[in-house]
Amino acid sequence: MADGESKAFNLNTWIALTTALMAVFAAITTLYVGKYSSRTVLFQAQETDQWAYYQAKSIKSYLYEVQKQQFDIELSAQPGMPKPAREKMVKVMENYDKQITRYDGEKNEIKAKADELAKSKEVSSHKAGNFGYALIFLQIAIMLSSVAALTKKTYLWYLGLATTTGWIFFFLDAFYLFY
């Protein structure tokens, strides 16, 4: 082989190896995009479930409040109500107060869990987006390297290698969320 052919062979070999390496990184990055996209959807579903549960507790609490108000109105409207009936209504109203307090406590716990899920969803969404951006940079780098191999224009390969810095930034940012 002549020296020029050996140099061209080495360049094509390096282009092929780096392009293959970029393709491996792209496959790994694609897995992370899927992983965090799925987590985002899962957290969204769990958050929605928590808010539905919160609404159910709110409705139950409201029903107790309405019934308690109704009894209070009846007690006020009927001052001559027999003592056993009045005592029974007061006892029921005290039970309603306990139920309302219990539901309010449960709603606070449910809200806290829903808020936590919302934060987890946001983090997963940002990570999925950053992995997506990283993947775009790798796809551009692979395309530039492929065109460099076909056209034998070395500057395209160098540009492809430089483009992988975008992948590195977004890939690391997806893991560590620098901002």
Angle, helices 83-151 vs 154-176, to 10°: value is: 160
Domain boundaries, the chain: 3-176
Rg (the chain; Cα; Å):
32
- pTM for this structure? 0.78
CA-CA distance, 127 to 125, in Å (whole number)?
5
Digit-coded pLDDT (tens) for 84-130: 988 999 999 999 999 999 999 999 999 999 999 999 999 999 999 99
Residue 80, SS3 per DSSP: coil
Q: In angstroms, rounded to a whole number, what is the distance separating the alpha carbons of residues 114 and 110?
A: 6
C-alpha angle with apex 32: 120 to 164, nearest 5 degrees?
A: 120
Q: How do residues 137-154 score in pLDDT, each as one tens digit?
A: 999 999 999 999 999 999
